Copies of this chain bind each other. A is one copy, B any other.
Amino acid sequence: MRLNSQDIHTRFRRHAVRVTRQRAAIYQALAETTSHPTANELYQTVKRQHPMISRNTVYYTLGVLRQAGLVQEVNVGHEVARFDGNVTVHHHLICLGCSQIVDVMDEALNQLAVSDGQARGFRILGHRVEFHGYCAGCQRAKLDAPQRSRQEH
């Protein structure tokens, strides 16, 4: 989603986040994609507009935005952290072939609960569902080269 700087300013203020050019650029980059980029990918993107920006600022900013609730962190296995500008409740499809992450918006999944018998006294605040499989492209690739072994974790 394309945001103008006014939108960003308003959002940041509403979440009590100080506005700086670097932050706006990082948030903008995240809002414009659905690809769940890593901190480093965001750094590379933002560097085109702000050649002087440091990785540290990207990490620091992502931390600030996350705590403010403007950004979500998505973790797949132990790969590097990936970020999501979509902060509505949703879940993910993860491709075991190419590691792409696709958003799943499904009200039924949002309603999941643990049975009392299994809850062990926990007070549950939220949950997260990941589906693992192969995307259309990787299924085709597998048919073309079915002999290659694959490591799934």
Contacts and interface: CB of A to CB of B under 8 A. Distances in A.
Interface of A: 66-67, 73, 75, 77-78, 81, 93, 95-96, 102, 104-106, 108-109, 112, 114-115, 118-136, 139, 151-153
A121 B136 contact: yes
A132 B125 contact: yes
In the complex, the count of this chain's copies comes to 2
A126 B132 CA distance: 5
Contacts of A130: 127-128
A111 B81 CA distance: 28
B77 A106 contact: no
A130 B106 CA distance: 16
B125 A128 contact: no
A49 B151 CA distance: 32
